[in-house]
């Protein structure tokens, strides 16, 4: 496996992002309506990675810098977006490897906490994040009022970001 910084505008990133949207439709009945722009993931304010097996893109994820808002986000936060592994490559530790690289790069860019929004219909994602030290935080984003929304965070000192 090779993890490459590609940017969110890369054709492989767009292909994988379309696949994750299909996954959301299967699990929730609709795609993620959060507005994302390739510029959100440009260093130093963000980063987007793709994991390749040979020349085949099989996993992705990114982070983007966030500012404090009335819904619990803080200056210094990095928000995870589009974490995904294609079904045929699951169970090989790819999500954990991508997550680790995203955490490393966000911390190196001066981010102090990493946050994410997932949902009740993604138990494998919740299990991954909790096993990596993420804990519940105040709900944020456009789904903060949705009963299926789960928001998690982790301080870069290793503690849950309560």
Q: What's 86's domain CATH number?
A: 3.40.630.30
Residue 54 in domain: yes
Per-residue pLDDT of the chain in tens (162 residues, 90 and over written 9): 999 999 999 999 999 999 999 999 999 999 999 999 999 999 999 999 999 999 999 999 999 999 999 999 999 999 999 999 999 999 999 999 999 999 999 999 999 999 999 999 999 999 999 999 999 999 999 999 999 999 999 999 755 554
Residue 110 in domain: yes
Please, are residues 135 and 153 in contact by the beta-carbon 8 Å criterion?
A: yes
Residue 33 in domain: yes
Instruction: List, in order, residues 6 or more apart from 62 with CB less than 8 Å away.
Output: 8, 40, 41, 46, 47, 48, 49, 80, 81, 82, 102
Residue 99 in domain: yes
Buried b (16+ CB within 10 A) or exposed e, 143-156: beeeeebbbbbbeb
What is the DSSP code (8-state) at residue 160? B
Q: What is the total count of domains within the chain?
A: 1
Residue 72 in domain: yes
52 vs 118: CA distance, rounded Å: 24
20 vs 102: CA distance, rounded Å: 18
Structural domain that includes position 137: 2-155
Residue 22 in domain: yes
Residue 161 in domain: no
Diameter of the chain by CA atoms? 44
């Amino acid at each position: 496996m090779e993890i490459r910084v590609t940017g969110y505008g890369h054709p492989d990133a767009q292909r994988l992002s379309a696949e994750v949207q299909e996954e959301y439709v299967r699990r929730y009945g609709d795609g993620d309506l959060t507005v994302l722009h390739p510029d959100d993931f440009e260093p130093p304010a963000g980063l987007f990675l793709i994991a390749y097996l040979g020349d085949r893109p099989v996993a992705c994820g990114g982070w983007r810098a966030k500012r404090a808002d009335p819904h619990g986000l803080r200056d210094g936060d990095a928000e995870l977006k589009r974490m995904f592994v294609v079904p045929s490559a699951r169970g090989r530790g790819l999500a954990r490897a991508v997550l680790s690289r995203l955490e490393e790069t966000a911390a190196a860019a001066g981010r102090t906490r990493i946050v994410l929004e997932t949902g009740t219909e993604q138990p494998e994602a919740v299990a991954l994040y909790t096993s990596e030290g993420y804990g519940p935080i105040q709900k944020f984003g456009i789904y903060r009022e949705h009963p299926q929304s789960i928001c998690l965070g982790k301080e870069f000192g290793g503690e849950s970001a309560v």
